[in-house]
Amino acid sequence: MRKSIVFCLFFLFSISAFALDIKGISVDAESAKCITCHQDMNVATKVHDQWAESAHAKNGVGCLDCHEAEQGEFDAINHYGQFVGTHPTPKDCAKCHEEEVEQNTKSKHAYPFWLYAPADRAVFEPIIGTKQGCEQCHNVSAFWPDGSVGECDVCHSKHTFDLAQAHNPYTCGECHLGPDHPQIEIYIESKHGNIFTTKMAQGKLNLDFNTKKTGDTPLDFPVCTTCHMDAINGLKSTHNVSERLSWESQAPWSYRTIWFEEELGSWKDKQERMKTACKACHAPNFVEDYFLVYDLVNLQYNEIRRAFVYWVKLYEKKGLIKPLKAKTANGSMKKFSNTVINASWYTTASEIMYNSWHHEGRRFRMGAAMQGADYVQWHGIWELQHNLQEMIAWGAEHGVEEAKKIYESDSPTKFYPYKLYDFPGGLYGLYTEEQYSVPALYKIIPNYWKMVKANVEQAYKKGFLTKAEWERWLERYNNRDKYLGKKFGKHKIFEDYKKRKAKELNLKDKNSALYKTIKIGLPSPIITDIK
């Protein structure tokens, strides 16, 4: 061991420069000392190979350019007579990448969402559970003692800092996945993800590009960075992933973002940026309709959310849910729950309250943003509706008369104890009338569209929709017979389909497929009937 240390010291303090070549990269003298010592000590020996493949290595950026430190700095250690920093931070990166670091610092990636922990996970689980859990992802917003914010290598793995890796959706999917923010699953389900995986399987995928230099993406389909970061269709590249986001759709309530609006502009400006990205591939009419429907999804979520808040506040008022509180180490009493976020955790209603925004509510909204149909539907609105009925049923079981009245109702309107938004017709085309003959509320409520119009108009007047969106919605409303298929009548093949369906499902016909299935008549007894 002593020989190894002497060997390292010899190289560290050697005045003479010497040549070292790794994967065709000529290594500078100072970096060569570090590398040779690490290799001899058998410490992180693959780091050098990773570095040799990087743009840093090709541009002469060596070990001390990132790791050099002054005595007294928070991460400085005396490493065989040379002070080095064990944790290079965005402040170090800013020496070369000042613009990118500044942009990232002003993005929601840099915002410390772990500040919400007392109202979220920290009350409900031992904190050790977050060390390799939440913290691993939320270090993207690490607050460093040198005043910098973030962790660049969350996306640009040390020591390669590979652009291709940063552009790969699965890199984003390290954090953006799971029941509460499943963007990678949504992306892969979407047509965008379908194209990505197909190109990858065909070997036609090259993600090693820099749109800051080229001014546009070479891809003819989007990866995550295409929409949120890359230069495209006249937009400049950015490391501020919030520049093109107009909703805070991860929050308990969807609200229009005002994040750094003094620099980024209003939510309308941010929305226009995202639309500009979309219009690189999609027709303007589709993009405008898509954003209108997405906006209505967020507004509809808020009304469902309002219903959850109503019930949980009622249950707390009636003493069915009690706020958590405890005496802290300094002797003061403190509440450790938030009625409208987690409802004190310990009841079925509490879990429903939390999951309905943190899980199902997010999936409903995020699926709508990213063309993930199953996440809008079965993982989203379906689960939200189920949760709301469970919330009401819980109140009924605990003697709340208002909840019992809804719970015991036999009308399908019981599933809608909130106000509604809608959009006349479909998003993807014009269809015949059969497509809109199913929704129960279209059949039950005679003034349905008049009610919906009043709600959409109020959202516009309150500043949640643009004038152009309101006029777009109004055009559909004024021509709803067209958009709801009534002008086109019945599809010529529909009657044939109905006849075929009736033939298959006719329980009076012993030759029908359904009759034969139900009446198969197996001869053996059911196992549990055997004595």
Structure confidence by residue, pLDDT tens digits, 511-529: 999 999 999 999 999 999 8
pLDDT, average across residues 273-289: 98
Amino acid at 206: N
pLDDT, average across residues 256-261: 95
| pLDDT score of 25 | 87
Comparing C-alpha atoms, which of 458, 444, 457 is closest to residue 413? Answer: 444
Structure confidence by residue, pLDDT tens digits, 292-332: 999 999 999 999 999 999 999 999 999 999 989 999 999 99
SS3 content of the chain, % helix, strand, coil (to 5): 55, 5, 40
Integer distance in angstroms from the first to the last C-alpha of the chain?
Answer: 76
Residues 40, 41, 46, CA angle at the centre, nearest 5°?
80
Query: Residue 119: which pLDDT band, with cuts at 50, 70 and 90?
Result: low
Reply yes or no on whether the pLDDT at 12 is more than 90: no
Peptide bond into 159 cis (omega under 30): yes
Structure confidence by residue, pLDDT tens digits, 359-412: 999 999 999 999 999 999 999 999 999 999 999 999 999 999 999 999 999 999
427 vs 483: CA distance, rounded Å: 10
Tell me what the pLDDT averaged over the chain comes to: 92
Query: Which pair of tokens denotes residue 388?
Result: 């709301």
Query: Which pair of tokens denotes residue 316?
Result: 């707390």
DSSP string over 363-413: HHHHHHHTT-HHHHIIIIIHHHHHHHHHHHHHHHHTT-HHHHHHHT--SGG
